[in-house]
Structure 1
Amino acid sequence: MTENNPYPSVPYQQPGQHPQPYQAGPHPPPYGYQPMYVQAPPTSGYATASLVMGILGILGGWCAFGIPCFLAVILGHVALSETKNGRKGGHGMAIAGLILGYIVAIPALLIAIFAFGGATLDSTP
């Protein structure tokens, strides 16, 4: 193309040479075609928080009295109910947060029951 000619130039052809056949552009996709780049639903904030609290609980839950683990369990159950219908993503993160939370929360709860619960049952007035 030149500045004066707005139309694309035709490639030079030798005399006696047949013109190039017309090649059509890309065809539209077939009916019902789903592209591979479908946008995923937004991730649930509760699922992310549950996973973060579960990791914090595993790493330092023993020095924080298991509070991050209990938060991971609560937030994980909220996230599971939020991601159940598929409008929000993060179902796997919610399950991972629940598992990490329960790994420390259940033994902490059992230790608390046996350590403090037994002392109150044995004390007779």
Structure 2
Amino acid sequence: MDDIVTKLIRKHRTNCPFSIARAVGIQIRFTNLGKSTKGLYFRKLRRRFIVIHNDLPPEWQRFVCAHELGHDRLHKGINRFFLEEHSYFAPGKLERQANLFAIQLLTAGVTPEPEESLEKFCLRTGLPRDAQHFFYSN
């Protein structure tokens, strides 16, 4: 997975998931997905889509885009939903991999400062504060 993230960043000269997704031909849409779904990735007629819940704060929209881009890069041909962490659905292996992909992409080239808490690292790198637990589930 490290190689995939590194190659994407090198090729597109950014770690912005929105820019990378558009550059690889994925259409990004924003809409109301209800209370339990933050985003989803799907393919239809050879077209790829990332749909992000439009009421999410910007840092969550960025994380969800990176997560769904992870599904595109890691899980070719599989449509996956990114369900809210408080739902009754435990994230499976594919969800954990997409979370790790998102963290690696969004924190590329940034290392924690000595004595820096995970919460401060997340804030400094633009990760959602609530995404801290993804570091432990991977």
TM band (smaller chain): under 0.3
Higher strand share: 2
Q: TM-score, normalised by structure 1?
A: 0.28
Q: Larger Rg: 1 or 2? A: 1
TM-score normalised by the chain length of structure 2 = 0.26
